[in-house]
Amino acid sequence: MTQVLLTIGSRGSPLALAQSKITRQLLAAKLNLSEAQAEQQLPIRTFTTSGDTLQDRCLVDAGGKGLFTKELELALATGEIDLAVHSMKDVPTQLPDGLRLAGMLPREDPREALIAGSVANISDLPKNPIIGTASVRRQAQILHLRPDAKIVLLRGNVGTRLRRLAEGKFDATFLALAGLNRLGQSDAASGIIETSQMLPSPAQGAVGLQIRDGDDKTFDMTQGICCQQTQIELTIERAFLTVLDGSCRTPIAALAQLSGFELSFTGEVYLPDGSQKWQRKIKQTLPKTAPLAALLPIAASLGETAGRSITDEAGDLVRFDKP
């Protein structure tokens, strides 16, 4: 009988499965397993989450936080799976008791992809463009750049959104370039939006590995495939999000980039209609000899400082706890 080393939990969408299979491939390479051995010893179980079943309304109207993670976390807590693979931008900043993040895979390209036929730039979209999105961040950013745009709800996985755009229901939509890259569909992008024009969601492009507290076996297995640079970058982004995000109705964008020991960070908060934006930029040289455990609190403090600076200035304007 084949020994199962660990069971991986994944949402059933094509992108989630692609990310889980990438995780399995990395683990298999570390453990010297063939593809056939990996499929048997590192099986993937799929789950339908609450967020997957919502197609007719915005996630914020259904509670927002944790809609793509709760079912996986329950399976993890009860021992059905040993490792949950998440898109980190879906993971709430407060984790359930008994669960922890073992780390993150190396981050993919965090930029936004414009899907708009032959149009490569936001400025070149037609007058009064109809933009399909369910993201409060993208809505605010689009309206900030193009106040003439009409925002229409567009939900579903990557394939669903591309199909509805092809049906001519919208002039454009935006997707995370990371997701298109992982699916091998980057050619669907008509343009790639630089982060200086449209900052991504906090943690966009990153895949997180969640385990049970005290599961040293799974933790040790994952450490050879986790990326410390990504963990540092996401620590500052998620700290910024924690300070600001009284609810998922808040349009928040953030991106940290670590080059050598130089950490740069930009964080933004918008009014939902895009009429006002608050931005903070930080640059910090990290200690060259400090271990990761010492660097993470430094990164978290920088994100918290940036977030508090915005809340001190904007006050109730950026608190959207109620509909």
Residues forming the active site: 90
Distance CA 283, CA 265 (A): 6
Beta-bridge mates of residue 266? 255, 281
Beta-bridge mates of residue 208? 86, 104
Torsion of CA 147, 148, 153, 155, to 10 degrees: -70
Instruction: Give the helix ranges, DSSP H, for the chain.
Output: 14-31, 35-41, 50-53, 70-77, 136-145, 158-166, 177-183, 216-223, 228-244, 292-314
Q: At what angle do helices 14-31 and 158-166 cross, to 10 degrees?
A: 140
Q: Print burial letters for 290-313: b (CB count within 10 Å at least 16), e (below 16).
A: eeeeebbebbbebbbebbeebbee
End-to-end CA distance of the chain: 54
